[in-house]
Each structure stands twice: as C-alpha cells, then as structure tokens.
Amino acid sequence: MPAPVTLLVHGGAGTLTRANLSPAQELEYRDALGQALRAGQSLLLRGASAVDAVVAAVSVLEDCPLFNAGKGSVFTHEGRNEMDAAVMDGATGQAGAVAGVVSVRNPILAAQAVMQQSGHVLLIGQGAEAFAQSQGLAMEGPEYFHTAHRWQQLQAALAHQQVMLDHDGQHPQGQPEPIDRKFGTVGAVALDAHGHLAAATSTGGMTNKMFGRVGDSPLIGAGTYACDATAAVSATGSGEFFMRGVVAHDIAARMAYGGLSLAEATQATVRDKLDATGGRGGVIALDRHGHYQLAFNTEGMYRGVVQGQAEPQISIYRD
C-alpha cells in the first residue's frame, strides 16, 4: 500500500512552556499551524507536488505575524527585517534559496522562483530582491514587516547587549537571562501522492543579529534538505550550530551511508550535532514511507502533522 500523503510543519522551538503561553495565545498558534497544515493537505490530496504543498504551508505561516518569518520577522541590530528562505525538491535534487531580503512579502515564493527559474541555488540581498520583482512577486515596504512585539524584543535585546540566541545556557556567565528564548522560524516537509519529498524553511533570523548575518535556514543541507531516497528535513534553532553541524544533511547522510532509519538518524543527529555542541532547537523530518519525526532538545516546538485525510495534530510542549 502506498504511504499516505503527509505534511509536517514547525513554527519554531524554544522555551515554550504552559507557564509562558496563555490559553488564548496557545489557541492562536494552534489555529495558525492548523491553517498551514490544511492549506498543504488540500493540495496534496488533489495530487499536487510536495514542493507546492510545503511552499503553500510556509506561505500561510509567513503571512501570520505570530511567527518569525515574512510578516512578524525579527529585527536586526539596525532595526531592519532581513529574511532568509529555502526550498528543496527531493525528486529532482533542485533547490532554491534567498538570503537577506528586505521587501519580498513571501520569501519562500522567491526561493521557489530561484529554484525553478534562475538556474542558480542561492541569491542574496539586492540581487534576490531584483529577481523576485522580475518574477512578479509581491513586494512590501518596511511598515508591512514591522510588528510591535518584535520591535520590543529588539529593544530588550539592545538593552541587554545580546544577540537573541533565544536558547538556554548560551548567555555569558553573569549576564541576564535572554528575555525571550524562542525561535519562530517556520518550515514544512511533505510527501506527495507520487512518492516525492520536499522541504521548505523561512525565517527572519535572530533578533539583534548583525547586518548581513545569514542563518542556517537558506543553506541547503544546514537548515533545509530533501532527497527522495532518504529524507526531507526543515530545522529551527540556533542557526550557527545547525550550520556547523550541517544538521539537515547529516540526518539524510546517516540514512544513506549508515543504513539508519529516519528515527535513528534523527535521534543520532540531535544527540551528536546539537546536544553535544550546545546547539538548541529542533527538526521536522519525513521519509518516503510516511515515517516522520518531530524532534527537539528545547522545552517545546510549535509543530503539527497531517496524514491522508485525517485531521491535523498540533503540539507545542514536550509532553
């Protein structure tokens, strides 16, 4: 029997506990994750490609100001929004990404256009902007991306002279605790009715990051990777650790070279490439049999899964 069409999404990992999320906020997050899953699910059930499904799901989350991607992206030290996104097609090995874009409304659509129309894999800054515009994508001014809660996060980070790495134990001794230890990057992985996999990730990066800093999300193999023979993976967390550990590809490589199952590979990568180095965050991973993992080493991760015609299942906390 063929595996059911499957879609997983994440909306970031971090210090997510019942104590720091009100029931009303929790409902808003669940609602948004459910909308993203349904958008991708309805495409997959109609026979659309895994690429189209992950792009649709990520676009919904980019449009939602709750997450750190598209509208709602965090601010750089200079008070700008610089966004990164990537998509990879597990069927063809094609990939597309943009980094440091400031006015593309949906960076994931720009990444998809890079993959399908440019002949390149990664475009940055002004070149990426000009390309997105030439593809007829919606562009926005800074006011569109500006949200009050992200601005407050930047002010708090500036006051504490911290890059908001947002994870436990990474602040220097004697410094105050990070104010908001949550990652809000969004991502999706999908298996379509034709047995193909895809992965997509979109982010505003880190609050108070340096001008020009690029994270793991748009780097193929670090925060985003898909290959039909192994797995589709999208990551969230302290990007520098995911880049050094080439985390998304590491999971696929353990499957390809070591014969590990998706679950074994994911657990080994989280242990060796995140736990062992102090990296914080999580991954969603999926293979062509419909086996999946939603793994993280933080207190929680906004996450959800839908298979076949079933109702989406959404979780936030560790339990």
Q: Is 17 a catalytic residue?
A: no
The residues binding ligand ASP (CB under 6 A) are 12, 68, 183-185, 203, 205-206, 215-217, 223, 236-237, 239, 281
Q: How far apart are CA 216 and CA 165, in angstroms?
A: 13
Among residues 6, 15, 76, 185, the one annotated as catalytic is: 185
Quickly count helices (H) and strands (E) in the chain.
9, 12
CB of 205 to ligand ASP, least distance (A): 4
Taking alpha carbons only, the member of 195, 151, 200 closest to residue 8 is: 200
Nearest-approach distance from CB 184 to ligand ASP, in angstroms: 5
Nearer to ligand ASP, 69 or 226 (CB): 69
List beta partners, residue 197: 191
- The answer to whether 308 touches 284, Cβ cutoff 8 Å, is no
Q: Which is nearer to ligand ASP, 43 or 247 (CB)?
A: 247
Furthest C-alpha separation in the chain: 57
Residue nearer to ligand ASP on the CB measure, 5 or 99: 99
Nearer to ligand ASP, 44 or 283 (CB): 283
Nearest-Å Rg of the Cα atoms of the chain is 18
Beta bridge partners of 284: 234, 294
> What φ, ψ does residue 297 adopt, rounded to 5°?
-115, 20
Q: Which of 188, 205, 204 is nearest to 294 (CA)?
A: 188
**Would you say 49 or 185 has its CB closer to ligand ASP?**
185
3-state secondary structure of 14: strand
Q: Is residue 224 a contact partner of residue 235, using CB atoms and an 8 Å limit?
A: yes
Query: Is 233 in contact with 252 (CB distance < 8 Å)?
Result: yes
Amino acid at 99: A
- Give φ, ψ of 120 to 5 degrees: -115, 175
Cite the active site residues: 185
